[in-house]
């Protein structure tokens, strides 16, 4: 059985690069994956884009309101992750 992957992406005002990050993950073939996004109170449209990505389907989780900086956000994303392998990809 193939392993599943959790791709954890921490964001804060990442609108300029986030679409490319999502497209990169979605281009993977033959791999079971979920995307976990942890947002640090974005104000530039990042959250709206993440909600659209979530609405498009697939295994997408979105966590907001995590304080404490990037380390705390990364740990929170790992806690949500359900894949056999966890990777961080920040956009």
Q: Render each residue's pLDDT in the chain as its tens digit; 91 residues.
A: 789 999 999 999 999 999 999 999 999 988 899 999 999 999 999 999 999 999 998 899 999 988 899 999 999 999 999 999 999 998 6
Is the overall model pTM greater than 0.85, yes or no? Answer: yes
Q: What is the pLDDT of residue 15?
A: 94
Residues 6+ apart with CB under 8 A from 36: 6, 7, 8, 9, 60, 61, 63, 77, 80, 81
Please, are residues 61 and 33 in contact by the beta-carbon 8 Å criterion?
Answer: no
């Amino acid at each position: 059985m193939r392993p599943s992957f959790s791709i954890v992406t921490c964001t804060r005002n990442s609108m300029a690069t986030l679409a490319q990050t999502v497209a990169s993950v979605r281009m993977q073939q033959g791999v079971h994956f979920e995307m976990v996004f942890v947002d640090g109170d974005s104000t530039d449209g990042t959250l709206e884009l993440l909600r659209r990505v979530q609405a498009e389907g697939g295994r997408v989780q979105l966590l907001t309101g995590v304080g404490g900086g990037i380390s705390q956000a990364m740990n929170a994303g790992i806690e949500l992750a359900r894949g056999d392998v966890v990777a961080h990809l920040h956009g």
